Amino acid sequence: MIKINENFLQLEENYLFSTINKKVSEYQKENPNAKIIKLGIGDVTRPLPQIVVEAIKKSADEMGNINTFRGYGPEQGYEFLKDKIIENEYKNLGIKSNEIFISDGAKCDTGGIIEIFNPNIKVGIMNPVYPVYLDTNVMYGTAGKYDQTTKQYSNIIYINSTENNNFLPKPSELTEIPDLIYICSPNNPTGVAMNAELLKSWVEFAKQNKSIILFDSAYKAFIEEDNIPHSIYEIEGAKEVAIEFKSYSKTAGFTGLRCAYTVVPQECVANYKAGEKDISLNKLWNRRTTTKFNGVSYITQRAAESIYTEEGKKAIKENIDYYKENAKILLDGLKKAGIQCYGGINSPYVWLKTPNGISSWEYFDILLKKYNIVGTPGVGFGTNGEGYFRLTAFGDKAKTIEAMERLTK
Ligand code: PLP
C-alpha cells in the first residue's frame, strides 16, 4: 500500500495570507467605496530596469539563432554570471567560482539545503521567522512533533528574537546548542540587521561547537549602515562554518524572473560519525544540485549579469532608493502616530508594536476597518510575533504617504 511522508502531517496549516485575503475581500465587498491600501506584500512592485529587459531580448535572439543557440546549461550556473558575482559581491573575500551555485530562488535553496544534513541534528530557528526554514525542516523530519499548546516543534531550538534583545539574539542567550543555525539578516519579518560584532559572535559560536550557519541575506541591497555586513564572509573564519544565500528578487526586482545564488565554501565541512573523515558540504550540494536542479535559464542569467553594468547598478539603486524612501515614510508616520517600531533602516520591513498590547489580528482588523490599511499580523511568523505587525515598503509611494496620513490624522 502506498504511504505518504508522515512529516507532512506535522505541518501547521498556514492560514496567514489566505486569512488576510479573505478578510480584505469580505470588507471590500461590504464597503465597495473603501480605498484600501495594501502594505502587507513582500513582493516588489517596480518594473525591471530597461537594461535587464534589453539583456532578455538579446539573449532570446541568441537562442533563436543556430550559431548562438544553447541547450542544457551547467546546473551550477554559467561562468559569465559567477565571474560578475565574484567581482562585484565578493571582491577580496576569496570566494571561488565552484563555490557559487546559481539558482531560481533563495526560497528553494534555503528550503532545500536541509537535505544534505542528517535528519537527527538539532536545528536552531529564530522566533519569529521567515516560515520556509521551519516548514522545510518539518517536511524533512528534523523538526519533530508539533505541540498544539505551545505551538512549537519538539526538536527545534527556538531562538527568541524579542524586544528584550532588540530582535537581535546573541549566541550567549542559547540554552541548547544547535547543529544548524538559520540567520536572516537583514531580517524578515523584524526588519533589523546584525552588525559585524554580533555576526562574529555567531561565527565563533559555530566554530566552537562545530555547527553550520545558514546565512540568508536576501535583503542585503537595503543595507545602508556601515557596520552591517553584506556577506557573512566579511567575518573572519566564516568560510569554515557558513553557507550564504543571496537573491536577485528584492535586489533587482527579479521576483517574477527568478534568479538567486548560494555560496557553499570548500572549507565548509561536516561529519556523519564522530572520528570519521570530514565531508565537504560543497561536494554534497553540488551533487544535490546536479541531480535535482535543472539550472536557471540562459536568458535569466544574462538578465542577472546585466545588473552589474554601470547602467544596471544605477537602475537597481534607483528602485531600492524608491523603496527605502517608502520605509522612511512608514517609520516617520508611525513615530508621529506614537507607535513603537523597529527595522525599516537596512530593510524594506517595518516591525511595529501594536498599541495598548492588543493582539496582532485585532490590530489587523482596526487598520483594515478604521484606516483601510492592510498589513501582516506578526503572529503569522511565530509565537513571538504576537502583539507585532509587519508593514512593507514595497508599495506605491503616494499610497504609502496616504496610509501614514490616515494613521496620523
Ligand atoms: N529569504 C527571505 C528571508 C525572504 O523573505 C524571501 C522572500 O520573501 C526569500 C528568501 C525568497 O527569495 P527568492 O525570491 O529568491 O526565492
CATH number at residue 261: 3.40.640.10
Q: Is the pLDDT of residue 45 over 90?
A: yes
**Ligand 1 centroid distance, CA of 2 (Å):** 34
Kind plus residue range of the DSSP H or E element containing 88? helix 79-89
Question: What pLDDT is recorded for position 17?
Answer: 87
Residues 205 and 162 in one domain: yes
- Residue 355 domain-assigned (yes or no): yes
Q: Is the pLDDT of residue 15 over 80?
A: no
Atom of ligand 1 nearest to the CA of 260: 15
CA distance 148 to 116: 29
Ligand 1 site-directed mutation target among 132, 215, 293, most atoms within 8 Å of CB: 132
Q: Are strands 37-38 and 373-374 parallel, antiparallel or unpaired?
A: parallel
Q: Is the pLDDT of residue 42 over 90?
A: no
**Ligand 1 centroid distance, CA of 65 (Å):** 35
- Residue 63 domain-assigned (yes or no): no
Question: What pLDDT is recorded for position 56?
Answer: 98
Q: Is the pLDDT of residue 16 over 90?
A: no
Residue where one domain finishes, among candidates 306, 322, 338: 306
Question: What pLDDT is recorded for position 217?
Answer: 97
CA distance 361 to 8: 27
**Ligand 1 centroid distance, CA of 408 (Å):** 31
The CATH number given to whatever domain includes residue 352 is 3.90.1150.10
Question: What pLDDT is recorded for position 271?
Answer: 87
Residues 135 and 212 in one domain: yes
Q: Is the CB of 260 under 6 A from ligand 1?
A: yes
What sign has the CA pseudo-torsion 132, 174, 219, 392? positive
The arithmetic mean of pLDDT across residues 247-271, rounded, is 96
**Ligand 1 centroid distance, CA of 68 (Å):** 33
Question: What pLDDT is recorded for position 364?
Answer: 97
The arithmetic mean of pLDDT across residues 221-228, rounded, is 97
Q: State the pLDDT confidence band at 258, using cuts at 50, 70 and 90.
A: very high
- Residue 1 domain-assigned (yes or no): no
Q: Which of 13-17, 33-37, 147-151, 234-238 has the lowest mean pLDDT?
A: 13-17
Q: Is the pLDDT of residue 12 over 90?
A: no
Question: What pLDDT is recorded for position 274?
Answer: 79
Residues 184 and 323 in one domain: no
Residues 193 and 252 in one domain: yes
- Residue 68 domain-assigned (yes or no): no
Q: Is the CB of 216 under 6 A from ligand 1?
A: yes
Q: Is the CB of 131 under 6 A from ligand 1?
A: no
Ligand 1 site-directed mutation target among 188, 254, 296, 392, most atoms within 8 Å of CB: 188
Q: What is the pLDDT of residues 150-194, one digit of tens each?
A: 999 999 999 999 999 999 999 999 999 999 999 999 999 999 999
How far is C-alpha 36 from the chain's CA centre? 27
Q: What is the pLDDT of residues 189-221, one digit of tens each?
A: 999 999 999 999 999 999 999 999 999 999 999
Residues 96 and 166 in one domain: yes
Residues 211 and 345 in one domain: no
Residues 275 and 129 in one domain: yes
Residues 158 and 129 in one domain: yes
- Residue 59 domain-assigned (yes or no): no
Residues 85 and 226 in one domain: yes
Ligand 1 site-directed mutation target among 17, 110, 392, most atoms within 8 Å of CB: 110
Q: Is the CB of 184 under 6 A from ligand 1?
A: yes
Q: Verify cis geometry, omega within 30 degrees of 0, for the bond prior to 189.
A: yes
Task: State the residue range of the domain holding 392.
Answer: 6-47+312-408
Mean pLDDT of all residues in the chain? 96
Residue where one domain finishes, among candidates 306, 327, 352: 306
Residues 129 and 29 in one domain: no
Residue where one domain finishes, among candidates 265, 286, 306: 306
Residues 142 and 231 in one domain: yes
Q: What is the pLDDT of residues 106-150, one digit of tens each?
A: 999 999 999 999 999 999 999 999 999 999 999 999 999 999 999
Nearest to 350 by CA among 382, 370, 375: 375
Domain count, the chain: 2
